[in-house]
Amino acid sequence: MINITKNEEVVLDQIKIFDTEYAEGVPVNVLRNELGFHEYDLVQILEELQDKDLIVFKDNKASLSESEKEVNTVNSRKDVEELELNMKEKESYKLIQDLVDDKNLISKYTLEGHLLYGDLKLTNFRMYHIILSLQNKGLLKSIEKDDGEYYLLVE
């Protein structure tokens, strides 16, 4: 599921309306005149929609992408980030559950390696944010042992 803001939804809906009328893609100036957005803001929204693979934005023209995706609309970009973080947090927690040993322990470096370079491919910032969030929720606890640093999965 793709999460978009209300403004992104308005622009996407307008592209859907004009898509049949403009076979080569809907020109930015047509969208700008119809929606009343400032050109800079509109281009940013179009680039976000392209990054989410909902449209193709090329040569100042926007057209719908070939792939059909389920879209969820939220109020703001912050809400999108929180929702995506929550989804990544759940995926990370599931990964941790799969990686812990019989004592619910996992080496700090093993966990960080799996989060950074595994299927999730998190950035350093997001990885530490997720680990901290899981610790704040009482699901993960940092432990020092004689042979290194570990995380304890609290269940």
Q: What is the pLDDT of residue 1?
A: 75
The phi, psi pair for 118, rounded to 5°, reads -80, -155
User: Domain end: 20, 37, 72, which one?
Assistant: 72
CATH number of the CATH domain containing 81: 1.10.10.10
Which residues of the chain fall short of a pLDDT of 50?
none
Q: Domain count of the chain?
A: 2
Q: Are residues 65 and 91 in the same domain?
A: no
Tell me what pLDDT residue 25 has.
92
Please write the tens of the pLDDT for every residue from 27-67.
999 999 999 999 999 999 999 999 888 999 999 999 998 87
CA distances from 16 to 5, 38, 135 (A): 16, 20, 43
- Bridge partner residues of 144 (DSSP): 149
* Residues spanned by the domain of 56: 2-72
Q: Among candidates 46, 60, 59, 40, which has minimal Cα distance to 10?
A: 46
56 burial (CB, 10 Å; 0-12 / 13-18 / 19+) is: middle
**pLDDT score at 27:** 93
Q: Which of 57, 72, 87 is where one domain is finished?
A: 72
- CB burial class (10 A; 0-12, 13-18, 19+) of residue 63? middle
